[in-house]
């Protein structure tokens, strides 16, 4: 597949994700007797495999990048439209997921340059993969299947939140709204501050230490983690017996703390000599609530 400018790249992604959606729908349609939750899981895997095949053909693993934000919105919308329980909770959850999805997808689209543009992390994984490990396997498992599984784990709590009836709106729902709204707000603010900082030529080579980035090295990741905890709270409010879906947000924490953050920090240490001092001064995620940090 030939590389090209941004319009061509976005056209390819649009066609690819439309095809992935059709594949997912067919997978669900051919198993009408199966419970919707595992049926959705198989459809999610099938769509991921199609995106993987396309990313292999294009030699660009970044074709998978928008899947993280697009797939949850489609899944939750399908659950609400076809199986949604009565009451306000399903609609509120859907609106919050859509707001998160649109914001995150737009942020990806803002920085993606086209089919020639691949995330630096994937290039690093290609170069540093274990000897003898084929790149297609690293791409399939590490870049595409694992994130799909982690995100689906996060969506497990959404299932009771939008399909289980019988429990009225309560204080736990209000807490869930507060957490998810705060999460999206943190992510939006952090990304805007980062884009503004990076867009100033005077900041070339400098470390962002302004706004939310003054309190946390990765406030965008903090917002993302909080979002999935907020969704879990919705599930807990709707069906306390589904408490075990806490594995979803815990999986998110593990992914960011042990994979995403270390990769970002290692890269910054390589390119910015004073980043080690920055790491000692600014925590990775949770701000230090001390007077010095706010002074």
Q: What is the pLDDT of residue 191?
A: 96
| Per-residue exposure over 167-205, b if at least 16 CB sit within 10 Å of its own CB, e if not | beeeebbeebbebbbebbebbbbbbebbeebeeeeeeee
Q: What is the pLDDT of residue 33?
A: 80
Q: What is the pLDDT of residues 171-189, one digit of tens each?
A: 999 999 999 999 999 999 9
Nearest to 7 by CA among 138, 125, 159, 109: 109
Report residue 242: phi and psi, to 5°.
-95, 25
Q: What is the pLDDT of residue 1?
A: 43
Q: Are 149 and 156 in contact (CB under 8 A)?
A: no
| Domain locations in the chain as residue ranges | 6-289
Ordered mean pLDDT values, 10 residues apiece, the chain (295 residues): 74 97 97 91 98 96 96 97 90 98 96 91 89 93 97 98 92 98 98 94 91 97 98 98 98 97 94 92 89 44
């Amino acid at each position: 597949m030939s590389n090209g400018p941004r319009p061509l790249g976005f056209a390819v992604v649009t066609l690819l994700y439309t095809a992935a959606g059709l594949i997912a729908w067919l997978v669900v349609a051919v198993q009408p007797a199966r419970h919707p939750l595992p049926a959705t899981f198989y459809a999610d895997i099938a769509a991921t495999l199609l995106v993987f095949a396309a990313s292999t053909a294009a030699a660009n693993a970044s074709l998978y990048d928008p899947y993280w934000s697009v797939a949850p919105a489609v899944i939750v919308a399908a659950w609400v439209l076809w199986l949604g329980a009565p009451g306000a909770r399903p609609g509120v959850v859907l609106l919050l997921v859509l707001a998160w999805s649109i914001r995150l997808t737009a942020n990806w689209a803002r920085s993606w340059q086209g089919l020639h543009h691949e995330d630096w992390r994937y290039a690093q994984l290609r170069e540093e993969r274990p000897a003898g490990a084929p790149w297609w396997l690293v791409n399939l498992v590490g870049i595409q299947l694992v994130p799909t599984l982690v995100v689906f784990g996060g969506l497990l709590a959404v299932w009771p939140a939008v399909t289980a009836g019988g429990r009225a709106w309560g204080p736990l729902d209000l807490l869930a709204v507060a957490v998810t709204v705060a999460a999206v707000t943190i992510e939006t603010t952090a990304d805007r501050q980062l884009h503004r900082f990076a867009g100033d030529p005077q900041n070339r080579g400098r470390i962002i230490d302004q706004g939310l980035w003054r309190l946390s090295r990765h406030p965008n990741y903090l917002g993302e983690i909080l979002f999935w905890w907020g969704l879990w709270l919705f599930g807990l409010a709707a069906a306390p017996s589904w408490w075990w879906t806490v594995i979803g947000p815990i999986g998110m924490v593990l992914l960011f703390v042990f994979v995403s953050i270390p990769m970002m920090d290692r890269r910054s240490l390589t390119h910015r000599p004073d980043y080690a001092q920055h790491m000692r001064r600014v925590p990775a995620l949770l701000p230090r609530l001390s007077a010095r940090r706010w002074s």
